[in-house]
């Protein structure tokens, strides 16, 4: 009887933990990206709508490639296709933006590629104080760019 209860609790735990890792839908991904761009770039409603369409199409492709990877049918051509679609999306978004928005969009893309979180505030250093640098293998482990 104890074994049956233990097995039931184990199966329940596995089921609950597997459901906790929900993969976001393309709509959720596109909405999150456009909302961030809207606040950073001060988009007009028209710009937001157009950029959402580009972001949604890209997120659908990204989701399809994720599914392929999970199924084990992912190929190198798929990766090339993904980067081409991403470059096209960035080019199309830049065509919708104006002046200062393009420069800020480039900063957003650079931050995303480098893994910088714009919500985290950098610690302000006092005059004469230097930023602590982590070198060697510890610097690589922490993800700090030196």
pLDDT > 70? residue 70: yes
Query: So what's the pLDDT on residue 74?
Result: 76
Query: So what's the pLDDT on residue 131?
Result: 56
Q: What is the 3-state secondary structure (H, E, C) of 61-113?
A: HHHHHHHHHHHCCCCHHHHHHHHHHHHHHHHHHHHHCCCHHHHHHHHHHHHHH
Q: CB 60: neighbour CB atoms within 10 A? A: 16
pLDDT > 50? residue 146: no
* Closest residue by Cα to residue 77 from 90, 68, 88: 68
pTM exceeding 0.75: no
Contact of 30 with 52, CB cutoff 8 Å: yes
- Region for residue 131 given its phi and psi (left: phi exceeds 0; alpha: psi -120 to 50; beta: otherwise): beta
pLDDT digits (tens, 9 = 90+) for 26-65: 999 999 999 999 999 999 999 999 999 999 999 998 888 8
* Range in 14-28, 49-63, 78-92, 95-109 the model is least confident about: 14-28
Mean pLDDT, residues 91-113: 90
Query: In the chain, where are the structural domains located?
Result: 24-115
């Amino acid at each position: 009887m104890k074994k049956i209860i233990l097995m039931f609790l184990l199966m329940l735990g596995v089921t609950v933990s597997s459901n906790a890792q929900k993969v976001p839908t393309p709509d959720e991904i596109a909405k999150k990206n456009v909302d961030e761009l809207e606040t950073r770039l001060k988009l007009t409603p028209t710009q937001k709508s157009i950029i959402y369409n580009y972001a949604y199409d890209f997120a659908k492709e990204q989701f399809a490639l994720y599914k392929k990877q999970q199924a084990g049918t992912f190929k190198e051509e798929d990766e090339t296709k993904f980067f081409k679609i991403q470059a096209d999306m960035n080019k199309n978004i830049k065509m919708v933006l104006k002046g200062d928005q393009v420069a800020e969009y480039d900063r957003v893309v650079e931050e995303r590629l480098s893994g910088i979180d714009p919500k985290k505030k950098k610690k302000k250093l006092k005059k004469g104080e230097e930023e602590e640098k982590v070198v060697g293998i510890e610097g690589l482990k922490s993800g700090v760019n030196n």
